[in-house]
Structure 1
Amino acid sequence: MLAHRFLLLIAVAAAAASGIASAKPTAYEALADYDFPPGILPKGVVAYTVDNATGAFTATLDASASGAGSSICEFSIEGSYSLRYQTKITGKISPDHLTDLQGVSVKVLFFWLNIVEVTRHGDNLEFSVGIAAADFGIDNFLECPTCGCGFDCNDLLMLQKAGAATARLRLRGAF
């Protein structure tokens, strides 16, 4: 009887260990397999797929993560760039290359342009909109931005805690 319980215990432990070992990595961890930092995707990826044979991928963002009840994740970075992610992002991934991207755009002047390709060159990421490209240091993408506030979420929370009067004063000073 004791031997039977011991064998059952070993079987349960082996099943648990294999379940832990086969757990699917997060989308952010999967990016690392292709030499990309996690911050090229915002927080809130709820599902993803990668076809290892073709590199085709999809990433699905939580629609409620936008902060505004919108199905689009939008935020500004350092006040100079506005980024927009659809709830479904698709493309092809291979080491150091994201191509055929759909669902990610950047605002340049007054126009929204689709980011169609991201290439890693050493410690830089090159973002291409087809007709132009821009390089950014990889250290800018070590942290994932949050929909609605990007990397400035602490500032937004401080404004909300300070109350509406402080926010109105701040807006009047901006004009």
Structure 2
Amino acid sequence: MVNMAAASHSLLLLPFLCLSFLLTSSTSTAPYNPPTVPELMDLFGLPRALLPTTARRYLLHNDGSFELFLDDVCEVEAGGYRVLYDIRLAGSLAAGSVTGLEGVRVRVLFVWVPVTGVEVGGGVVTLSVGPLKKSFPAVGFKTSPRCAVAGSAAADVA
């Protein structure tokens, strides 16, 4: 024979057990908040100032390949050079380096030359520009550049 007092006591506890389970399961799986673009740069040991302030969205794949999106085409003046960023940048990230970079060009004399890689180490930032490499002191990469109007540069490249 079933003890009715014990059965009703168990039934009263059932809603509390369900609520307790829901609360613990929902708090244990917090929403994923991916790093911002500047935080991502920090995680990979890259100066934040390699990218303009309009870089806000990205996709980072398990193999280190990435796609980074700017609000618009962006032209900046950096270290006496004109640099042009496309709306979409891509490449592969590793600690202190970017390889296979697409979507960044620097003006050399009268020609826009692609920047294909970046290496950071020993207080120096080295850019691969076409077949050449150019190094700059890392202290020069303190502030992210702000975009100027890029309409004329985009027309020059096209």
Provide the TM-score with structure 1 as the length reference.
Answer: 0.67
1 or 2, which has the higher helix percentage? 1
- For residues 83 and 93 of structure 2, what CA distance do their matches in structure 1 show? 20
Aligned to 2:61: 51
- For residues 129 and 12 of structure 1, what CA distance do their matches in structure 2 show? 51
State the secondary structure of the residue aligned to 1:32. helix
Aligned to 2:71: 62
- For residues 61 and 96 of structure 1, what CA distance do their matches in structure 2 show? 22
- For residues 121 and 25 of structure 2, what CA distance do their matches in structure 1 show? 46
Aligned to 1:74: 75
Provide the TM-score with structure 2 as the length reference.
Answer: 0.74
Aligned to 2:127: 127
Unaligned runs of 5+ in 1: 64-71, 150-175
The answer as to whether partners of 2:77 and 2:145 remain within 8 angstroms in 1 is: no
State the secondary structure of the residue aligned to 2:82. strand
The answer as to whether partners of 2:76 and 2:148 remain within 8 angstroms in 1 is: yes
Question: Structure 1 residue 11: deviation in Å?
Answer: 4.7
Aligned to 2:7: none
Task: Give the length in aligned residue pairs.
Answer: 134
Question: Structure 1 residue 75: deviation in Å?
Answer: 1.7
- For residues 143 and 11 of structure 1, what CA distance do their matches in structure 2 show? 43
Deviations 1:23-67 (CA, angstroms, capped at 9, x unpaired): 111122112111101111111123101112x2110100012xxxx
- For residues 148 and 25 of structure 2, what CA distance do their matches in structure 1 show? 45
Unaligned runs of 5+ in 2: 1-11, 150-158
Q: How does 1:8-157 map to 2 (within 5 A)?
A: 11=24, 14=27, 18-19=30-31, 22-52=32-62, 54-63=63-72, 72-78=73-79, 80-148=80-148
The answer as to whether partners of 2:92 and 2:101 remain within 8 angstroms in 1 is: yes
CA RMSD of aligned residues (A): 2.4
- For residues 52 and 131 of structure 2, what CA distance do their matches in structure 1 show? 25
Deviations 1:80-134 (CA, angstroms, capped at 9, x unpaired): 2000000000001111121111100111111110001111122111001132111
- For residues 126 and 142 of structure 2, what CA distance do their matches in structure 1 show? 15
Question: Percentage identity across aligned positions?
Answer: 27
